[in-house]
Amino acid sequence: MTKIRLTEADRFERRHNGSREVRTQKMLTKIGVDSVDELIDQTIPAAIRLKQPLQLPAAQTEHGFLKSFKSIADKNQVFRSMIGLGYHDTITPGVIQRNILENPGWYTAYTPYQAEIAQGRLEALINFQTMVTDLTGMELANASLLDEGTAAAEAMSMLFATRKGKKKKAAFKFFVDQHTLPQTQSILNTRATPIGIELVTGDVAEFDATDESFFGILLQYPNSEGDILGYPAVAEKAKANDINVAVAVDLLAMALLTPPGEWGADVVVGTTQRFGVPLGFGGPHAAFFATKEAYKRQIPGRIIGVSQDRDGNKAYRMALQTREQHIKRERATSNICTAQVLLAVIAGMYGVYHGPEGIKTIATNVHGHTQLIAKGVEAFGFKQLNGAYFDTIKIEATAAQIATVRTLAEKAGINFRYAENFIGIAVNQTTALEDVQDILTIFAEAAQADVKSFDLTAAADQLEISWADQFKRSSEYMTHPVFHAYRSEHELLRYMKRLENKDISLAHSMISLGSCTMKLNATAEMIPITWPSLASIHPFAPANQTEGYFEIFRNLEGWLNEITGFAGTSLQPNSGAQGEFAGLMVIKAYHEDRGDHHRNICIIPTSAHGTNPASAALAGMKIVLVKCDDAGNIDVADLREKAEANKENLSALMVTYPSTHGVYEESIIEICNIIHENGGQVYMDGANMNAQVGLTSPANIGADVCHLNLHKTFAIPHGGGGPGIGPICVAEQLVPFLPGSPLTDLAGGEKAITAISSAPWGSAGVLAISYAYIAMMGSEGLTNATKLAILNANYIQSRLKDHFPVLYVGANGRNAHELILDCRQFKTIGIEVEDIAKRLIDYGFHAPTVSFPVAGTLMIEPTESESLEELDRFCDAMVAIRQEVKEIEDGKAEAENNVLKNAPHTQALVLNDNWEMPYSREKAGYPLPYLKEAKIWPSVRRIDNAFGDRNLMCSCIPVSEYAEAEA
Ligand SMILES: *Cc1c(COP(=O)(O)O)cnc(C)c1O
């Protein structure tokens, strides 16, 4: 008899971590060590190693996880959401859900820095920008911000930074309409104070535009209580007095209402959530920022623009990148890096699929159903308090009436908004006549009236737009052919597939972007995010309906505390950069609480990521830079000198660990001690946590707070540039200050700072991904992942170091989880690092990180998920490219006309009858044998960035120009 031993057949770690034992042995031999542990001992300084392993729950299998997680998610109750306040249920078209939201070809892509293999998502984003520009009536829009509240804050900051003339000296007040969304007001408050803006909240009807101390004003249209007020007149008065106008709008309402662009607004912001993006208990959703051309150099975030490739063909790329934080650093007025690209793609496709007539129909239905509810409740004796409204009404009610309605509504599975003396009802795309009937039944019962006394069918036949002509939209929108060509599902399916096929994602090959940690985004991690029990929950739903979410938060916060060694976690920040800002504001609150209001100096090494100085600037801190030595390490003597010189006012140090140079600095403990001795707190940028988990921790190295990029280390896909989540984890003394929310007491510490993000738990809807990752990997799996990430990076080092100089290494010649290859020496023969990046496309690879943290270099981060075969394929490509460089060095290839300068090669170029290059077609298109198995052709040749910036065009080319081109 053979004895049976029961084991877990589908252990997840085997699927996530790329290398298996035999292969690991080969890699160790190449590196020149006997074991992985020996390599780790040579890499991470002993002084900072964890003394004991992580204590996380036992690893679950994929199947086991999905089963147990379902039972947690099912503790949430899915009600019909009529709370409004900036979040509305919506219908994600199935074809978009399956082929974009659930499709790794879309969700695993990176921010489109390599535009030649990103034309698909760039086109999708330009559709988004065009839709937003048209609906708001503005000239220009970016390709997403994090949420409506932060978008409003960006508008305020931009208007502040661009004050002119007299205003520049004397105007520091920003007026906010009192009926702006409460979460937006809280964020404005967080962002205004540190940079010296005085926020004034009040009734817009009483705003005194002649007061010269105001530079700007924010209006909410329609406002948080549903009213459409006389804002055009307010805007006119403000503009006449040199006060700039920002308006937060409901984008769906813009299909029917005169958009602010037509009454003089300078900036229009809002969210595109209700354009097909699930509620997800608050996010992720794409916010937008639309403005005038005049502000094009000050717009926060990424803008997609039209340019041309080397053959003069139309090509898209990110425009005006000198605006961004990585260039502006401490002079930046925005720190946005990761945005909400995947969600913007979805919202844009929703616009493409429905077109202007469809969007208008949806908006009209929403308004019609709202009117029916308003008329019905009035028939039962309630007073409806709005004048003109779009989708939201408030109904006057006593406390007793509110209690009755609430009981009945909750029994019927409906959530309204319950204010002190009114009930708010917000209608959405999912609302049907049956829902209206259910709502009327509730109000009839509460009023002890007969529901039949109101003839719903008759009323439905007599609906018309109820607001003044002044507010009726007459202008056209979404006239471009792209919003008219894809009405059938087949057409849209094929359009989306065509776009997808233009881009390189993790579904094709490894994307070794240093600092970005493009690891596996496992399918089992992604499955839960579209479960209605997670996706269909309003962020302000009553707490007793969201116990599943609270259990997820509790567990995940606990695990992140364990992993970082800290005492508390806030899940609110929705990107790494937001985490930085949140962490610095928490440090600031801590100092202020101790009476140290003057502590405002932030020390940052010159090697820091651009978001670090930008976040410090947003937090109102004064930045003092410290140098790095020749080996790439922080110059400890310089740091000590600066810390001591600023002893009285030192607030914080921001430090990335392991450093952005890919090395575990030996002196980190000393560095943290110096800061503490001089009264400062240590902020650790956690982008490189993939080199720490299970082996060391932020608390262990002496930090006080860190952010984690869940979209790097913890398996949330990059989505082509978002979503991300950037929770902060903090030491005991900082826990009381973790950010809160104006809509719940359950988020944040006892002395919580005001909101960082619109939703109390940020992008809660995708936390399931990181939760799944940790639950399925367990302590051992996570620790092995870190070890293998380091193994893979050092294997690449061992294969490439004879071909390219490796810029920085640790004391024993090892790298952390990433390494930098120096390409500056090729400049003498005219080869730039960009040429190598573009040539990699011909080999089927997305380039590593180009020119960060050192110009002229490539930073490679393979992650633990890549197998030896894939690492070798990448190294073979790099070695082959080095040979191609050598041919130029040796004079065997022309200096100007060669495979590198002409890269990437399109299919159209290689198949052209007039092939005129001084090398073969095969060398151009199939330089290595593996490419014959699977080849990705770029859809355009090298793109001219400068041309696009000179001729800025950020929407789909208008129809009129199409017609001209045809003629
Ligand atoms: C990615 C990154 C950030 C910014 O994170 P986002 O999520 O993009 O805002 C900050 N610092 C470093 C070192 C990074 O790599």
- State pLDDT tens for residues 25-39: 999 999 999 999 999
Distance CA 656, CA 794 (A): 20
Q: Write out the H or E segment, with its range, that includes residue 361.
A: helix 341-379
Instruction: Give buried/exposed letters for 796-826 (b at 16+ CB in 10 A, else e).
Output: bbbbbeebbebbbbbeeebbbbbbbbbbeeb
Phi, psi of 496 (to 5 degrees): -65, -40
Res 962: pLDDT: 47
Q: Which residue has the tokens 């932020």?
A: 698
Q: Which residue has the tokens 């408050």?
A: 189
Return the closest-CA partner of residue 858 out of 883, 895, 832: 832
123 Cβ contact partners less than 8 Å away, ≥ 6 residues apart: 316, 499
First to last CA, the chain: 84
Give distance in angstroms: CA of 18 to centre of ligand 1: 24
244-249: strand order across its sheet: 140-141, 287-291, 267-271, 244-249, 214-221, 173-177, 198-202
What number does the ligand 1 atom closest to the CA of 660 have? Answer: 13
Distance CA 799, CA 802 (A): 7
218-232 per-position pLDDT tens digit: 999 999 999 999 999
Coil/strand/helix, residue 605 = strand
Give distance in angstroms: CA of 716 to centre of ligand 1: 14
Q: Write out the H or E segment, with its range, that includes residue 437.
A: helix 433-446
Query: Residue 423 in contact with residue 120, Cβ under 8 Å?
Result: no
Is residue 941 scored above 90 in pLDDT? yes
What number does the ligand 1 atom closest to the CA of 575 have? Answer: 7
Integer angstrom CA distances of residue 35 from 345, 639, 664, 696: 45, 36, 20, 19
Signed CA dihedral, 887, 889, 894, 896: sign only? positive
Protein residues with CB under 6 Å of any ligand 1 atom: 337-338, 515, 575-577, 609, 611, 656, 660, 685, 687, 709, 724, 726
123-158 per-position pLDDT tens digit: 999 999 999 999 999 999 999 999 999 999 999 999
Q: What is the mean pLDDT of residues 400-415?
A: 98
Distance CA 207, CA 178 (A): 11
Res 959: pLDDT: 53
DSSP result, 875-896: HHHHHHHHHHHHHHHTTSS-SS
Integer angstrom CA distances of residue 36 from 2, 783, 807, 816: 35, 12, 23, 13
SS3 content of the chain, % helix, strand, coil (to 5): 45, 15, 45
pLDDT band at 607 (very low <50, low <70, confident <90, very high): very high
Is residue 863 scored above 50 in pLDDT? yes
Coil/strand/helix, residue 756 = coil
Give distance in angstroms: CA of 881 to centre of ligand 1: 29
Above pLDDT 90, what percent of the chain? 93
Distance CA 775, CA 65 (A): 7
Q: Centre a 10 Å sphere on the Cβ of residue 468 and count the other Cβ atoms it contains.
A: 12
Res 478: pLDDT: 97
Res 254: pLDDT: 98
Distance CA 351, CA 340 (A): 17
Res 1: pLDDT: 74
- Which residue has a Cα nearest atom 5 of ligand 1? 576
What number does the ligand 1 atom closest to the CA of 709 have? Answer: 7
Beta strand 244-249 with 267-271 is parallel
Probe ligand 1: pick from 302, 572, 584, 709, max atoms within 8 Å of CB? Answer: 709
Q: What is the mean pLDDT of residues 207-224?
A: 97
Probe ligand 1: pick from 337, 654, 688, max atoms within 8 Å of CB? Answer: 337
Mean pLDDT, rounded, of the chain: 96
267 Cβ contact partners less than 8 Å away, ≥ 6 residues apart: 155, 158, 159, 244, 245, 246, 247, 289, 290, 291, 295
Res 327: pLDDT: 81
Distance CA 200, CA 689 (A): 41
Q: Which residue has the tokens 């009209």?
A: 364
Query: Residue 546 in contact with residue 282, Cβ under 8 Å?
Result: no
Give distance in angstroms: CA of 127 to centre of ligand 1: 26
Probe ligand 1: pick from 110, 611, 654, 716, max atoms within 8 Å of CB? Answer: 611
pLDDT band at 8 (very low <50, low <70, confident <90, very high): low
Give distance in angstroms: CA of 524 to centre of ligand 1: 26
Res 685: pLDDT: 98
Q: Which residue has the tokens 């400068």?
A: 946
Q: What are the tokens at 927?
A: 């330089």
pLDDT band at 4 (very low <50, low <70, confident <90, very high): confident
pLDDT band at 965 (very low <50, low <70, confident <90, very high): very low
Q: What is the mean pLDDT of residues 247-271?
A: 98
7 Cβ contact partners less than 8 Å away, ≥ 6 residues apart: none
Return the closest-CA partner of residue 848 out of 606, 503, 608, 518: 518
Distance CA 768, CA 125 (A): 26
Return the closest-CA partner of residue 911 out of 895, 926, 896: 926
Distance CA 217, CA 201 (A): 10
Is residue 7 scored above 70 in pLDDT? no
Q: What are the tokens at 33?
A: 């060590």
808-853 per-position pLDDT tens digit: 999 899 999 999 999 999 999 999 999 999 999 999 999 999 999 9
Coil/strand/helix, residue 415 = strand
Return the closest-CA partner of residue 563 out of 814, 753, 785, 338: 785
Give distance in angstroms: CA of 895 to centre of ligand 1: 37
Return the CA Rg of the chain.
28
Q: Write out the H or E segment, with its range, that includes residue 23.
A: helix 21-31
Is residue 770 scored above 90 in pLDDT? yes
Secondary structure of 673-704 in HEC code, one letter for each residue = HHHHHCCCEEEEEECCHHHCCCCCCHHHHCCC
Which residue spans within 633-763 are E strands per DSSP?
650-656, 681-686, 705-708, 728-730
Angle at 324 between CA 323 and CA 325, to 5 degrees: 130
The amino acid sitting at 818 is E
Is residue 739 scored above 80 in pLDDT? yes
Give distance in angstroms: CA of 730 to centre of ligand 1: 18
Coil/strand/helix, residue 951 = coil
Secondary structure of 903-945 in HEC code, one letter for each residue = CCCCHHHHCCCCCCCCCCHHHHHCCCHHHHCCCCCCCCCCEEH
Phi, psi of 442 (to 5 degrees): -60, -50
Is residue 46 scored above 60 in pLDDT? yes
Distance CA 802, CA 816 (A): 19
What number does the ligand 1 atom closest to the CA of 338 have? Answer: 8
Probe ligand 1: pick from 110, 111, 515, max atoms within 8 Å of CB? Answer: 515
CA 683 to chain centre: 21
Res 952: pLDDT: 87
Instruction: Count how many Cα atoms sit within 13 Å of the Cα of residue 877 in the half-sphere of its side chain.
Output: 26
Q: What is the mean pLDDT of residues 927-940?
A: 97
Q: What are the tokens at 595?
A: 């009476």
Q: What is the mean pLDDT of residues 399-411?
A: 98
Give me the long-range contacts of 64-70 (CB less than 8 A, separation at least 24).
64/8, 65/12, 65/524, 65/772, 65/775, 65/776, 66/524, 66/527, 66/528, 69/528, 69/768, 69/771, 69/772, 69/775, 70/528, 70/531, 70/533
Q: Would you call the peptide bond into 232 cis, given omega within 30 degrees of 0 as the criterion?
A: no
Res 10: pLDDT: 78
Is residue 239 scored above 80 in pLDDT? yes
- Which residue has a Cα nearest atom 6 of ligand 1? 576
- Which residue has a Cα nearest atom 14 of ligand 1? 687
Angle at 114 between CA 108 and CA 117, to 5 degrees: 70
- Which residue has a Cα nearest atom 3 of ligand 1? 576
pLDDT band at 963 (very low <50, low <70, confident <90, very high): very low
pTM of this prediction? 0.97
752 Cβ contact partners less than 8 Å away, ≥ 6 residues apart: 736, 737, 738, 739, 740
Distance CA 130, CA 138 (A): 10
pLDDT band at 749 (very low <50, low <70, confident <90, very high): very high
Is residue 964 scored above 60 in pLDDT? no
DSSP state of 221: E
Integer angstrom CA distances of residue 284 from 59, 248, 274, 280, 724: 27, 18, 12, 7, 8
Probe ligand 1: pick from 110, 335, 338, 511, max atoms within 8 Å of CB? Answer: 338
pLDDT band at 368 (very low <50, low <70, confident <90, very high): very high
DSSP state of 11: -
Signed CA dihedral, 939, 940, 941, 943: sign only? negative
- Which residue has a Cα nearest atom 15 of ligand 1? 515
